[in-house]
Amino acid sequence: GRIADALPEIDLAPPTELAPDRTDLAPADGAPGDRIGFARVGVPHVVIRCADAGAVDLERVAPHFRHHPALRDGANVNVASRSADGAVTLRTFERGVEAETLACGTGSVATALLLGAWATGEATIGATETEIVTRSGLRHRVRTGPASAHAPARVSLAGTARIVFQATLGEGDWG
């Protein structure tokens, strides 16, 4: 980890799966967007590119993808749209929570990787910097770089960091 451009930034392992075209996951009545992809960045993610992420009824749409039988571990479900300023609006339905959350770092990374793959037409990691606006209104920055003969692909995530909970456990609290 490091501070880059006044934000905490961490490196992540490159994805173990990157599948930009997963039309097989679409429901019979159609997906809420024009592209569906899958990326495993430690956590499995379905990403759906749509015209307006804010207009998608995520609580209705996500369970189909979240529990799709083609995904052995299920998946978090992300809907993403690009705004006029080039930033990406992202909403995430997280497995385990089984609801929409305010932000998801691996969801931002999966989305940036798939947007890059859709732009180039190749399931590879190129050099990109993507600004993601999460449901909380806070921003994530995802930077990627291609693999070389001497190094694996580079993936980093930056954004604000806050303490949202703090507790002190005493000796008798473990029981």
3-state SS, one letter per residue, for the chain: CEEECCEEEEEECCCCEEECCCHHHCCCCCCCCCEEEEEECCCEEEEEECCCHHHCCHHHHHHHHHCCCCCCCCCEEEEEEECCCCCEEEEEEECCCCEEECCCHHHHHHHHHHHHHHHHCCCCCCCEEEEEECCCCCEEEEEEECCCCCCCCEEEEEECCCCCCCCCCCHHHHC
Q: What is the pTM of this model?
A: 0.90
At 48, the pLDDT band (50, 70, 90 cuts) reads very high
Cα gap 11→54, rounded to integer Å: 29
- % the chain with pLDDT above 90: 72
The predicted structure's pLDDT at residue 175: 62
